[in-house]
Amino acid sequence: MIEPSDAALQPHARLAEILNREVAPRADNSRAATKALLVVRDGKLVGEAYAPGFDAMTPIIGYSLAKTLCNAVTGRMVETGHLDVEERDLFAEWRGGADRRRDITIAQLLQMTSGLTIAETHTGYDPVSHMLFLSQDMGTFAARSASGAAPGQHFKYTSGNTLLVSRLIRDRLGGDVHGVLGYLDRELFAPAGMERMLVEFDASGTPILSTFCYASARDWARLGLLFLNDGCVGTTRLLPQGWVEFSKSTTIEPSYGAGLRLSRAGGQGERWLLAGMPEDTFYGHGHLGQYVLVIPSLNAVIVRLGTSAPKMRPRDRAVFADIAAAIGGQ
């Protein structure tokens, strides 16, 4: 658990220098791309820094970090008996005749291997943009997507897969916002110490666990700690035994598990490699440079939240290597 008070901070001189540099206004007085940068080591908050206008209490959108949160919610629901990741025949829309979508499992939705053709290109005109910004029932929109490949045979990253899991979460928890929020607060957020985790819902009551979730940097770090600690908070198990291993195990795409990225080459992996980081690093990633890095060999979590253009990605990631070197030398 992250200690909630500033007195818990134990800044290393080099680490503090790196963090403060990243959030400082630029020479032209424009805002820094990094809004929050935080490091947890051995269960303690050892450094955090915020750009002007942000602090430890500010909820910041995680974009596709929400997919990592969706993984945790799914894992908790498996542990409490509400879901089974090998379930098939998930939606009424898929139950006609020889529809191969009936064979899609929850695991394949999390792993982006459902075979569904829900294009996500961030153009504003693609199906996922339509779903996220125009649809009142995102899960139903996604369920109407055609199958382009047999389940488990093709990797395609798309928020549509995650929103189908979100629809299942809604349906299994009473079918409305009240039931979902009650479960999230009682079964995950409160036990994990997440005090400022906000989830948006669509008009149908489906939590938008693909994209629109907000949290303080400390709460995003608590999510990372849940994965670092094998799904446990202290002696309390929230995620099933073996869930974290499942989540970071790859299928078709070497750089993707189930809502988590892996720093591995091959497939799309070159795009997701974190140069200079320990080989066991795995992480959640969101649009514009949101990161929750889990580094088991350092017993550490790094959170970076901000607004970086794609061309800034190599520079942002170089900061992680600097941080790893700083805390590794403590």
- Domain boundary assignment for the chain: 6-65+196-328, 66-172
Share of the chain above pLDDT 70, in %: 95
Q: What is the reported pLDDT for 11?
A: 52
Distance separating alpha carbons of residues 87 and 247, to the nearest angstrom: 17
φ, ψ dihedrals at 215, nearest 5°:
-160, 160
User: To which CATH superfamily is domain 6-65+196-328 assigned?
Assistant: DD-peptidase/beta-lactamase superfamily (3.40.710.10)
Secondary structure letter of residue 187 according to DSSP: I
For 28-57, what is the mean pLDDT? 92
Task: Please give the torsion angle defined by the CA atoms of residues 246, 251, 253 and 259, in that order, rounded to the nearest 10 degrees.
Answer: -30
Cα angle for residues 216, 37, 190 (degrees, 5° grid)? 25
Give the closest residue to 76 by CA, choosing from 195, 227, 265, 204: 227
The whole model's pTM is what? 0.94
- Computed over every residue of the chain, the mean pLDDT equals 92
Q: What pLDDT digit, counting tens, does each position of 111-158 carry?
A: 999 999 988 887 888 889 989 999 999 999 999 999 999 999 999 999
pLDDT band at 96 (very low <50, low <70, confident <90, very high): confident
Domain 66-172 sits in CATH 1.20.58: yes
Q: Which among 106, 115, 103 has a CA at the least distance from the CA of 83?
A: 106
Distance separating alpha carbons of residues 239 and 295, to the nearest angstrom: 19
> Distance (Å, rounded) from C-alpha 131 to C-alpha 86?
26
Specify the residue for token string 């949290």: 215
